[in-house]
Amino acid sequence: MKIGIRNGSLGTDCLNAIRMGAQLGFDGVELDIGADYTGNPIWHDEGRRQLREAAADTGCEISSLCLGVLWQISPASDKSEVREEALKIITASAAFATELGAKWILLPITPGEDGANADQAPQRWIEIVAQAAPVAEDLGVVYCLENVGRGCGKSADNLQTLLSGLDSPAVGVYYDVGNAVAFGHSPVGEIKQLAEALEIVHIKDREADYLGEGVVPIPDCLKALQDIGYDDWLVLETPPTEDPVEAGSRNLEYLRDLFATT
């Protein structure tokens, strides 16, 4: 398995995260596209060129992109114009990911705005992702539905419901072990339940800044991943703390030590 880290976990922007990730010894980084998505370098030719060059120069890959902007512009919105903008963002990200060498695009299964019809959220998500999926399939990238709070994708069962409505090789699961524990689910059981759909994994603890000091059974999660034959990325979504370099180094060392003993 390869180990990556989100730029937010390093407390820095996309370009500097690549350099920091390389210096700390990570295999790659996940780059977040937030609410001001048009201001993100990923949304511009020159910005993507700089990111590609940084990855090539440092050897630190861009493992994945995260569409954090979907927390503000959600496919679950009651407003058709918001759903249309979400579709454009999701579709555009496939080409950008391909250009940056990233195979996976994280789609947090977000709710609509306050008061939005929650009962319609699953079908709205399915309709939007289904329209974008052929583009991803043509480009060889995968949209990954993540188990996040407040939306219609909190559990493995929820994610499987969404996947069954999509039935596309370009759509899978981005599983977050820390979120699972926060929602009262067993990450070990859900890893096994989602085995064939699981594309990429977020690693974080709960009730602690550092891996191994909280309530998430990280060694058991790693063993479960090995049991299903998973051999792709583990991406840290850990707090940057007041010292992101120290925190990143410490969490990376923890995972590597686990690899050596699991």
Domains of the chain in sequence order: 2-261 (3.20.20.150)
Residues of the chain below pLDDT 70: none
Cα 120 to Cα 10: distance, rounded to the nearest angstrom = 36
Residue 72 Cα to chain centre, angstroms:
17
pLDDT score for 262: 78
pLDDT score for 259: 92
pLDDT score for 71: 98
**Cβ neighbours of residue 159 closer than 8 Å, sequence gap 6 or more:** 109, 145, 147, 153, 173, 194, 197
**pTM to 2 decimals?**
0.97
